[in-house]
Amino acid sequence: MTRGPALPCPSCKRSYEALDWIDANSCRCLKCRVDFEFFPFPALVATKETVKPQAVVVAEDSTCFFHADNQAEKVCDGCGRFLCAVCAVPFTGKTLCPNCIANSKKDDARLVASRYLPGGAALALALLPMLVWFFTLVTAPIALYLAITGWRKPRSLVRPGRWKLVVAGVVALLQIGGWVFLGVTLLLEK
């Protein structure tokens, strides 16, 4: 009978402490006498591995770039620096030092700032052809398509609004509705 994490009973929803643990995955509520199984998320029961660097024994051994007293165990895949067990961080399938991880985050921010946002293109396709109304027959469906597909794309951290997509979609629907109305009235006049 081992004691596991504190959980509420799934039947009576009471008391976190009134559970009798039968084994690692089974328990019984002491209040309502219901047996239930508990399957923990692996991270809940995982033991955290502590990293202990090795001290430099011989003066000729290579040392960590960041910790002169620690022996180098790995090499950074980004910059080639020698790293101890504390500084060698597994990151996206590579071993990187803290500086390279910080620089990779900066690179990601530049990628987000340059992401293609379809809102401006959809709005331009919906509004600009209104100067020459005949072009809206072609551009309105394209603008509506861009507004619909652009809604599902990831938004930018720099310009998070979707107002351009909404305006472009409404204008495109009005233009398509106008063309349908014009076509129906022309057919009814004949």
Q: Express each pLDDT in 21-40 by its tens digit.
A: 556 667 777 777 777 776 76
**Residue finishing a domain among 114, 144, 168:** 114
Q: Are residues 76 and 138 in the same domain?
A: no
Return d(Cα 46, Cα 107) in angstroms, integer. 32
| 104-154: pLDDT as tens digits | 766 554 444 456 677 778 888 888 887 777 888 888 888 888 888 888 777
- CB environment 49-72: b (16+ within 10 A), e (fewer): eeeebeebeeeeeebbbebeebbb
| 69-112: pLDDT as tens digits | 889 999 999 889 999 988 888 877 888 888 888 887 665 544 44
Q: Are residues 103 and 153 in the same domain?
A: no
Q: Are residues 181 and 122 in the same domain?
A: yes
Its domain, for residue 133, covers 118-189
Q: Are residues 123 and 133 in the same domain?
A: yes
Q: Are residues 55 and 107 in the same domain?
A: yes
Q: Give mean pLDDT, residues 4-23.
A: 62
Residues 6 or more apart whose Cβ sits within 8 Å of residue 178: 136
Q: Are residues 122 and 82 in the same domain?
A: no
Q: Are residues 8 and 37 in the same domain?
A: yes
Q: Are residues 87 and 110 in the same domain?
A: yes
What token pair was written down for 153? 């794309």
Domains in the chain, number: 3
Q: Are residues 64 and 105 in the same domain?
A: yes
Q: Are residues 99 and 68 in the same domain?
A: yes
Q: Are residues 132 and 174 in the same domain?
A: yes
Name the pTM for this structure: 0.39
Q: Are residues 180 and 127 in the same domain?
A: yes
